[in-house]
Amino acid sequence: MPCETLALPPFSPGTAHAITLCRFGRAGQGRKAYVQASTHADEIPAMLCAQHLRALLEEAERLGNIIGEIVLVPAANPIGLAQMLLDHHMGRHHLPSGRNFNRFWPDGTDAVMAKEKDFGPDPALNTQRARRIVGEYLRGTQPNAADEAQKLMLMRLAHDADIVLDLHTDLDAELHLYVDPDCWPALEPLAALLDASVVMLARHSGGNAFEETVAAPFIALREADVPCILPETVTVELRGQRDVSDELARKDARAIYDFLVLRGLITGEAQAAPFTGIAAPFEATEIVRAPTGGVLVYKRERGEMVEPGDPVAEIVDPMTMRRTPVKAASGGRLFTRNLHHFVHARDTIAKIQGTTPLPGRVKGRLMTD
């Protein structure tokens, strides 16, 4: 099976990390799909899903059914996998720097837009040119820290893909997606196959998350009226961190495999039922925060529909026994909750997906860390 290991440069004597990737099909022969799992290394269901997807792709490769190229990185964050603190896995942030592993990826947008006048009327040629410029930018970039080197290597693998799926996991959540507005409703089959409850249509969310950074140069060209082909880039949140089972991982892997069949990268038959969840702007996502610290007691389950003013939770002060209600400010689907039940004031405790953009939800500041 065509897998390889790429060594990351050591930034401390005696340490070594490497990224394993599996290539299926043939590079340069048709479209390219790129799938990576657990950019946040403590999001375990994504890695289990990747294992099952890898088995499906190996069988398709054996049968000669792969068309084009599929690149799978089954564990995208070896640095984060090694981070343990007092017996707790710390895979979301790079401990030496405090940086989030899924923020501030190397971005070739400025390099592309510096040559804006060189682009012509042909979308396909413009797309190829932009990919070459981004590739040159990434090859010429030098990392200054271990986490930067890891991000650079992954971006080099993904920047020229037609389809990019970044597999994550939330805390306690239903399956949901982040998708660029211009890729919807074309990506409705993926949402339906995965049985996603929520699709957030996100652009310029702030923090340069992976899937937005891959698409950023092409979005910038389109916003400057330069025709090009926008890659289908998606963050897939595979439910919550406790949802670790072969049954769920096998189901999700099959859905991703069938989506690649529908997109023509694998021969075979696949069909998606109609999407029945909520697809709405990311600005319509209410971030519910704790008004005070204490013991978090939920009053609503994930997946429930709530109306403005409905109680979502209570915060119990263990010293005074006072209970502070937490109410929904908007209506919609309660699709994520906190995994931890002792919180501090202003901690995020839930997300509610509505359909109407909310006051205070401003582009560039939509993401939480």
Do 288 and 265 lie in one domain? The reply is no
Residue 142 lies in a domain: yes
Calpha distance 34→159 (Å, rounded): 9
Do 269 and 294 lie in one domain? The reply is no
Q: Give the CATH number of the domain where residue 329 resides.
A: 2.40.50.100
Number of domains in the chain: 2
pLDDT digits 0-9 by tens, 169-209: 999 999 999 999 999 999 999 999 999 999 999 999 999 99
**Residue at a domain's end among 226, 247, 276:** 276
Do 150 and 239 lie in one domain? The reply is yes
pLDDT digits 0-9 by tens, 305-340: 999 999 999 999 999 999 999 999 999 999 999 999
Calpha distance 61→46 (Å, rounded): 22
Do 61 and 166 lie in one domain? The reply is yes
Calpha distance 357→262 (Å, rounded): 32
Nearest to 306 by CA among 277, 332, 326: 332
pLDDT at 306: 98
Residue 359 lies in a domain: no
Residue 153 lies in a domain: yes
Do 260 and 229 lie in one domain? The reply is yes
Residue 361 lies in a domain: no
What percentage of the chain exceeds 90 in pLDDT? 95
Do 160 and 305 lie in one domain? The reply is no
Do 48 and 129 lie in one domain? The reply is yes
> What does the DSSP 8-state code read for residue 40?
S
pLDDT digits 0-9 by tens, 9-45: 999 999 999 999 999 999 888 899 999 999 999 999 9
Q: In this model, does residue 65 exceed pLDDT 60?
A: yes
Q: In which band, very low, low, confident or very high, does the pLDDT at 364 lie, cut at 50, 70 and 90? A: confident
Nearest to 173 by CA among 45, 38, 357: 45
Residue 300 lies in a domain: yes
Do 225 and 300 lie in one domain? The reply is no
pLDDT at 2: 72
Do 258 and 344 lie in one domain? The reply is no
Provide mean pLDDT across the span 237-262: 98
- Supply the angle between the helices 210-223 and 123-139 in degrees, to the nearest 10: 130
pLDDT at 1: 53
pLDDT digits 0-9 by tens, 205-248: 999 999 999 999 999 999 999 999 999 999 999 999 999 999 99
Do 44 and 187 lie in one domain? The reply is yes
Q: Give the CATH number of the domain where residue 235 resides.
A: 3.40.630.10
Do 330 and 287 lie in one domain? The reply is yes
Of 11-15, 76-80, 149-153, 234-238, give the lowest mean pLDDT range: 11-15
Provide mean pLDDT across the span 38-62: 98
How many alpha carbons lie under 13 Å from residue 335 in its C-beta half-sphere? 25
Nearest to 253 by CA among 114, 73, 56: 56
**Residue at a domain's end among 255, 276, 297:** 276
Residue 362 lies in a domain: no
Q: In which band, very low, low, confident or very high, does the pLDDT at 144 lie, cut at 50, 70 and 90? A: very high
What percentage of the chain exceeds 70 in pLDDT? 100
pLDDT at 189: 98
Residue 48 lies in a domain: yes
57 neighbors 257 (Cβ within 8 angstroms): yes
Q: In this model, does residue 369 exceed pLDDT 80?
A: no
pLDDT at 365: 80
Residue 366 lies in a domain: no
Give the domain extent around 316.
282-353
**Residue at a domain's end among 276, 298, 330:** 276
* Mean pLDDT score of the chain: 96
Do 186 and 225 lie in one domain? The reply is yes
First to last CA, the chain: 37
